[in-house]
């Protein structure tokens, strides 16, 4: 299925240094069941939050950006784990800003989620980049010069069409009261394939129509 797409799974297992089946307690670094890659529609975040804060992200033509990579349990998730792993350096944070366009976001995601991954900050950001390179954004959503109304099914179908092996129960579309917020894609802990999102999918958007604000300033 997606095993060929995620050929770097063996690298991740070596970095984790643990057998996924051996984890026994909750809340320890490396003790989780699956990953969720969260892709945020940047114009929606800017319209709802970033503009009022004068965030630099909102002055740039971002479309989908990486919100985070989250270790998850089948029910719930660990957060703010106590780890001895080295956090990402300023240089490593700077190098990921094309995908996660705010140093504050990168630092927050490391503290809340990366510390639970069982990885160093460097390895955690490396995995994010690998996934961002492998998971394709549909062409229609790479640039949006004008606002658009879409359905949840339309967004989901577009991602399924360009990501071989991705099934409907392995993706979750998120919204606020009217806007598309995020697309979340679920992967096995060893990153060898996509996996059923379970609880994450049950929290998907239930709106029939979603508003997508336009990308600012041209193509991303």
List the catalytic residues: 67, 109, 113
Cα-Cα-Cα-Cα dihedral sign, residues 66, 20, 6, 212 = negative
- Which residue stretches of the chain are H helix? 9-16, 42-45, 51-53, 90-95, 103-112, 121-134, 152-162, 199-202
Cα-Cα-Cα-Cα dihedral sign, residues 95, 100, 101, 103 = negative
DSSP E strands in 7-124: the ranges are 34-41, 64-72
Q: How far is CA 69 from the centre of its chain?
A: 5
């Amino acid at each position: 299925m997606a095993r060929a797409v995620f050929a770097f799974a063996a690298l991740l297992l070596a970095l984790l240094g643990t057998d996924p089946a051996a984890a026994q307690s909750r809340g320890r670094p490396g003790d989780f069941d699956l990953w969720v890659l969260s892709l945020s529609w940047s114009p929606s975040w800017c319209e709802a939050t970033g503009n009022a804060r004068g965030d630099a992200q909102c002055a740039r033509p971002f479309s989908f950006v990486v919100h985070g990579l989250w270790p998850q349990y089948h029910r719930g998730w660990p957060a703010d784990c106590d780890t001895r792993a080295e956090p990402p350096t300023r240089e490593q944070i700077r190098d990921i800003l094309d995908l996660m366009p705010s140093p504050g976001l990168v630092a927050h995601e490391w503290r809340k989620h990366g510390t639970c991954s069982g990885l160093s900050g460097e390895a955690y950001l490396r995995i994010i980049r690998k996934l961002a390179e492998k998971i394709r954004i549909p062409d229609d959503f790479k640039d949006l010069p004008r606002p658009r109304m879409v359905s949840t099914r339309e967004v989901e179908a577009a991602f399924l069409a360009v990501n071989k092996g991705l099934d409907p129960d392995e993706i979750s579309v998120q919204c606020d009261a009217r806007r598309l917020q995020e697309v979340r894609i679920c992967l096995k802990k060893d990153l060898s394939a996509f996996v059923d999102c379970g609880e994450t999918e049950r929290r998907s958007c239930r709106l029939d129509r979603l508003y997508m604000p336009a990308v600012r300033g041209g193509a991303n």
